[in-house]
Amino acid sequence: MIDFELTDEQKALQEAVREWAQKAAAPKIAELDKKHKYDPSLVRGMAELGLLGLPFPTKYGGAGMDWISLALACEELEYVDTSLRVVMSVHVGLSGTGLYQWGTEEQREKFLEPQCRGEKIGAFGLTEPGAGSDVASLRTTAKKDGDFYILNGSKTWISLADVADQFLIFAKTNPQADPPHRGISAFLVERKFKGVSTRPIKDKLGVRAGNTGEIFLDNVEVPADNLIGEEGEGFKIAMSCLDNGRFTVAAGAVGLARAALDASIKYAKERKTFGKPIAEHQLVKEMIAEMVRGIETSRLLVYRAGWMKNKGIRNTRETSLAKWHACDVALKCADMAIEIHGAYGYSAEFPVERFWRNARGAVIYEGTREIHKLIQANYALGYRKDKPLRRELPPYLPE
């Protein structure tokens, strides 16, 4: 059975997030973006709304809502600015689901519960200066020493690096493993641990209202109890987390594309050339129509992936396609919005140039466009098939 109608609960959430984002964030987001300034009050507001634990059971402090609800929240947040959705992607989609899917009951209580309540902010440390798409080449190490692991290395392009309280860090426990990815393990590293330091990355092209930085690990003693999953499962854990982070990125991209469309419609009806609004010109209509098509197809792909997540069905292929398509659509919509605005679109006087800068990053992070093309081709050719994980993401069960 296929039902595209939102539930009353989902509609209420959608309206609540939309109202909050418009009142709390929209009036100041352009200034925050201009100053490259992260505003912690916005994250606190998201916590008060219950967004930071949205898809997790209430027993862990979450809201107990489903994956379609998470998509709706991400769409409304990114409609205002990408930096808001990034919090959901990292804190909830990557870090939170990693703890929920792979953590022990004790680890969920200790680390996931405070994240759900917004008492602690979680981040995800996978990318390194020399390891992005090629995850297996990461160089951060974790050596067992009694009841601890000693971590050394660095991570880069980490969202929330300077503000997170705890990091899901991936390191090699067996550098000689063959193949290399089987030597990777996952750890929950707390900022308070000696040897942990962070540094912001400045002068980014986009997502300027969000915090992005580097993490440095210098002989950090991490309790063995903070090992997430088992030794050697890090690569599987990272990839499963990305299935969820990519879902939030795709959902957010729909919001950005929608914002570009709405801005374009408003401007096209107001701006006149040759004696009539430019909305009446055929080539402008063509761009508006392209935006509509892209938004609708992207949303359908996101909802399909969300439906599969709700059912507990593996959705690596479907989520990858949603992320690839929706991010490309968002970038194209932002680009056409600039075209419709003409010279004004090139100015910060209108928001569409910010939309473009933000959309450009999403085509790169959480799997580049090229990586997703390879994923889709390998599935189609039969070169890639999903194998059961030791721990699958539990299906959504209404509470």
Parallel, antiparallel, or unpaired: how do β-strands 166-172 and 122-125 relate? parallel
- pTM for the predicted model, two decimal places: 0.97
pLDDT band at 399 (very low <50, low <70, confident <90, very high): confident
pLDDT band at 28 (very low <50, low <70, confident <90, very high): very high
Residues near 198 by beta carbon (within 8 Å), at least 6 away in sequence:
158, 161, 162, 191, 213, 214, 215, 216
Report the alpha-carbon distance of residue 270 to residue 268 in Å, rounded.
5
Tell me what percent of the residues of the chain surpass a pLDDT of 90.
98
Residue that the structure tokens 């971590």 belong to: 151
366 in catalytic set: yes
Strand ranges in the chain using DSSP code E only, listed in sequence order: 122-125, 141-145, 148-159, 166-172, 184-190, 196-200, 212-223, 227-228, 272-273, 276-277
- Domain 235-381 class in CATH: mainly alpha
In whole angstroms, how far apart are CA 345 and each of 134, 274, 291, 306, 397? 36, 20, 16, 34, 45
CATH topology of domain 123-232: Butyryl-CoA Dehydrogenase, subunit A; domain 2 (2.40.110)
Report the alpha-carbon distance of residue 318 to residue 3 in Å, rounded.
18
Mean pLDDT, range 341-358, rounded to an integer: 97
SS3 127: coil
- On whether the CB atoms of residues 99 and 115 are closer than 8 A, the answer is yes
- On whether the CB atoms of residues 362 and 81 are closer than 8 A, the answer is no
Q: What is the pLDDT of residue 8?
A: 97
pLDDT band at 378 (very low <50, low <70, confident <90, very high): very high
Mean pLDDT, range 56-81, rounded to an integer: 98
- On whether the CB atoms of residues 102 and 86 are closer than 8 A, the answer is no
Q: Between 282-311 and 234-270, two packed helices, what is the crossing angle to 10 degrees?
A: 150
| Model confidence at 251: pLDDT above 80 | yes
Query: Among positive and negative, which fits the CA dihedral 333, 339, 340, 345?
Result: positive
DSSP state for residue 131 in the 8-state scheme = B
For residue 62, count other CB atoms closer than 10 A to its CB: 23
| Model confidence at 343: pLDDT above 80 | yes
Nearest alpha-carbon partner for 125 in 44, 253, 245: 245
Q: What is the pLDDT of residue 2?
A: 78
CA 325 to chain CA centroid, Å, is 15
Q: What is the pLDDT of residue 3?
A: 86
- Domain 8-121 class in CATH: mainly alpha
Nearest alpha-carbon partner for 89 in 105, 109, 75, 101: 75
Mean pLDDT, range 261-283, rounded to an integer: 97
| Model confidence at 1: pLDDT above 80 | no
What DSSP assignment string belongs to 267-311? HHHH-EETTEEGGGSHHHHHHHHHHHHHHHHHHHHHHHHHHHHHH
Mean pLDDT, range 355-380, rounded to an integer: 97
Report the alpha-carbon distance of residue 68 to residue 334 in Å, rounded.
24
Active-site position among 366, 370, 392, 399: 366
Domain layout of the chain by residue ranges: 8-121, 123-232, 235-381
List the beta bridge partners of residue 123.
Answer: 167
DSSP state for residue 202 in the 8-state scheme = P
Which tokens belong to 208? Answer: 């300027």
pLDDT averaged over every residue in the chain:
97
Residues near 151 by beta carbon (within 8 Å), at least 6 away in sequence:
140, 141, 142, 169, 171, 187, 189, 195, 217, 219, 220, 222
Element containing residue 51 per DSSP (H, E): none
